[in-house]
Structure 1
């Protein structure tokens, strides 16, 4: 009875005790990790080559363990990367990238890659330490495994805005384009993503690519799902290339180049359709007589009409403009009105259902007629404004 009458230990007291034990365990674990980090740094800075290689491998393991561990320290993977950088491991790892020993290069490359992932400050530190020139050299070697690890490293580093100009200036882009043609599937994905990262910097967009990138990009777009993130990046690069004469020629000369863009307009995501119609529009605006028929021959009209309804605001505007360029030609007959009405009705039925299809189709056709009239009026006004008094017939 006496024992039953004694007050039990309070729940809050138990929780406090468990928290104290957890904090003690975490503190002890952190102390061991800090000691390990210091030891690894010492080996990298002062050890012989074998010790440096092993230290680089251990750094990779430590970061990966911190990222995947289910211990109380699992949320400290970012802190682990920061502590390793603070301990001075980045510079000696960068020095190892130029070692004649291929094992040293690979070990340092993997360590740096793991230090850079999900840590913006480390990305910048690695580039500041001089990593880009040796990484560019690794992109040139015959060892495909090392070359693709270097591609992955440049991809990761290119995600940090301060690094983009340095990477472009290093001449990495043409080598990444080579990976598009000869790399593994993962290597090609990494190369496209790295090039896309670099292109998002306004001063870099026209400088990173030349027409040689068109053929592998078209082939990759053919093979991937048109609504995928990969397709979005690929079409973004193709749109950039479509702004140069060399890129336009390469797209039209590629086997199925224009058809692949038309298919992306039909089946792509909101982002990829916007880029694809942008590329087609660039072609048609650059030389309407040359590209208009090529685009029409690939059956672009239905996809463009649907895009005027379902696309982003920018895609809808581009689709409207391209449709005007494709339809309005004195040299060729306009698309037969009955065919146009059928296409518009089918699109309206998919968008609003059969019950409202007729109403929606009528609105779309009216909008198209209105835009056509506005375009024609604009052309008349421009011609009138350009006339000189001598051009005007006398009465």
Structure 2
């Protein structure tokens, strides 16, 4: 299976269009504001009147009135004629005080229909509106969302995962979510959720891992790495999803538990090697970073495992075509892979042959010798620089800084 569906961070409207299409058709017939979805858009004054009416019913009506009001919020946002009017409607609803009663409807005393309708309304209010995302978290939405993320109803779980994704894109929400049980529950979604829920879970964890504030995201590598590797195998290596997945894997490769989890998963190293070969510049960078982290932690332990998966051609390509930082990582890893005093897994002649074959693929046989010579010179130069640096460090042990 190939992961084709992917959250478009620049267009949260696309996510909302996938939610509950059949229910919306039924709502069109029963809502008190359904007439506004046909004909000309309402004037600003008429729109304000409708927003105030919805807020009144949501705050003071009975359960049925609250559910209808929540449906009307979703409809009025989605039926706005252009992005600017959608943004204005979202702001008007927030100013009218609808977020707090919608969040209260997420709690378990309310029936599932009410909780689902409130969640859909909140998703529409949060889309492309950072202030509303912050308001939703401030109103206390995290605990009921965690309960929905554990609910036996798969549709509610998927909606809750989409909500966490949306809320996690606001910087000030990240520390709150990271300190909750969201990371553990999202890890469970990675293992058993639908395709879209797993995509949303990965993107949420990516968002939380980029937080500028404490507490930092802490993940259980044994629980997270296997599904991440599985998803990386299934997705296109140059996709935005692969970039986020490899970003998380590079972070996890920084711990011994994470490195062990990557190598214990069948095809874990191969998935990273394939990303180095076929990924985007970003996913290549993170994939080679993860492989380098493995080899730097214990060259004797991981070197042969990486070589066995055929990493050399992709690394050579990266030294020629990657970004400056990716080239540095690739060259450092190549040096670690070929420089071993204990065993000669890759001889000089074998390396030269591989480099020549790769050069011929890039520039053709006419220029292959020149290209191969340049690549080998770059690798030798990097090796000299590394050895010089190591010698300086050994000669000056007292230069270390005590923190």
TM class by shorter chain equals 0.7 to 0.9
Give the 3 Å change call, closer, same or farther, for CA 331–74 of structure 1 in structure 2.
closer
Give the 3 Å change call, closer, same or farther, for CA 231–204 of structure 1 in structure 2.
farther
5 Å-filtered alignment, 1:56-135, equals: 56-66=70-80, 69=81, 75-100=84-109, 101-135=111-145
Q: Which residue of 2 aligns with 1:292?
A: 303
Q: Is the 8 A contact 2:179 2:215 kept in 1?
A: no
Query: Are 2:269 and 1:258 equivalent residues in the alignment?
Result: yes
Q: Which residue of 1 aligns with 2:172?
A: 162
Deviations 1:146-170 (A, max 9, x none): 0110000010011111111111111
Q: Is the 8 A contact 2:206 2:244 kept in 1?
A: yes
CA RMSD of aligned residues (A): 2.0
Q: Is the 8 A contact 1:324 1:372 kept in 2?
A: yes
Give the 3 Å change call, closer, same or farther, for CA 380–88 of structure 1 in structure 2.
closer
Q: Which residue of 2 aligns with 1:379?
A: 390
1:34 to 48, 51, 57: 48
Between 1 and 2, higher relative CO (CA 8 Å, sep ≥ 6) is seen in 2
Q: d(CA) in 2 for partners of 1:246 and 1:334?
A: 27
Query: Are 2:62 and 1:48 equivalent residues in the alignment?
Result: yes
Give the 3 Å change call, closer, same or farther, for CA 205–355 of structure 1 in structure 2.
farther
Q: d(CA) in 1 for partners of 2:42 and 2:148?
A: 40
Give the 3 Å change call, closer, same or farther, for CA 28–230 of structure 1 in structure 2.
closer
| Larger helix fraction of residues | 1
Give the 3 Å change call, closer, same or farther, for CA 244–205 of structure 1 in structure 2.
farther
**Secondary structure of residue in 2 paired with 1:98:** coil
**Secondary structure of residue in 1 paired with 2:55:** helix
Query: Are 2:207 and 1:193 equivalent residues in the alignment?
Result: no
Q: d(CA) in 2 for partners of 1:28 and 1:238?
A: 49
Q: d(CA) in 2 for partners of 1:377 and 1:74?
A: 58
What is the number of equivalent residue pairs in this alignment?
Answer: 358
Q: Is the 8 A contact 2:356 2:372 kept in 1?
A: yes
Q: Is the 8 A contact 1:236 1:275 kept in 2?
A: yes
Give the 3 Å change call, closer, same or farther, for CA 160–222 of structure 1 in structure 2.
same
Q: Could you tell me which runs of 5 or more consecutive residues in structure 2 were left unpaired when the two chains were aligned.
A: 1-38, 399-403
| TM-score (norm. length: structure 1) | 0.86
Q: Could you tell me which runs of 5 or more consecutive residues in structure 1 were left unpaired when the two chains were aligned.
A: 1-24, 388-395
Query: Are 2:283 and 1:269 equivalent residues in the alignment?
Result: no
**Secondary structure of residue in 2 paired with 1:226:** coil
**Secondary structure of residue in 1 paired with 2:341:** coil
Q: Which residue of 2 aligns with 1:231?
A: 242
**Secondary structure of residue in 1 paired with 2:43:** helix
Deviations 1:218-246 (A, max 9, x none): 00001111111110000001111111111
Give the 3 Å change call, closer, same or farther, for CA 206–307 of structure 1 in structure 2.
farther
Q: Is the 8 A contact 2:284 2:326 kept in 1?
A: yes
Query: Are 2:247 and 1:242 equivalent residues in the alignment?
Result: no
